[in-house]
Amino acid sequence: DTEVTQTPKHLVMGMTNKKSLKCEQHMGHRAMYWYKQKAKKPPELMFVYSYEKLSINESVPSRFSPECPNSSLLNLHLHALQPEDSALYLCASSQEAGGNQPQHFGDGTRLSIL
């Protein structure tokens, strides 16, 4: 079990659907991250929130829209996704963004786009 909780664990959606991925942590961490991971590849950073403000947006297409309602929650809103967006989406958190703080990952949401 991880201390970063992600829901749902699996999601299958069509290209016209709208869905949201959710992430929650109660470790008092002030930095939260979204990563995308394809099979046999390392995680690719998508977004970083530091103190509930978006710090980094790694040129991610606008069909992915992050939201940080409070310091414990992070959402990723999905709309009009493409088949190549099928991947494991990982949420992570750390005490601060940077320094020697390790990132703690959730178990991920496995997303399949039909």
Does residue number 16 form part of the binding site for another protein (CB under 8 A)? Answer: no
Q: Work out the number of other CB atoms within 10 angstroms of the CB of residue 101.
A: 14
66 makes contact with another protein (CB under 8 A): no
53 sits near another protein (criterion: CB under 8 A): no
Interaction between residue 41 and another protein (CB under 8 A) = yes
- As measured in angstroms, the least distance from the Cβ of 55 to another protein is 6
Our CB check for another protein shows the closer of 56 and 80 to be: 56
Regarding 103 and contact with another protein (CB under 8 A), the answer is yes
Question: What is the three-state SS of the chain?
Answer: CCCEEEECCEEEECCCCEEEEEEEECCCCCEEEEEEECCCCCCEEEEEEECCEEEEECCCCCCEEEEEEECCEEEEEEECCCHHHCEEEEEEEECCCCCCCCCEECCCEEEEEC
Site for another protein in 21-40 (CB under 8 A): 31, 40
Query: Would you tell me which residues interact with another protein (CB under 8 A)?
Result: 2, 4, 31, 40-43, 45, 48, 50, 55-56, 88, 90, 97-100, 102-108, 110
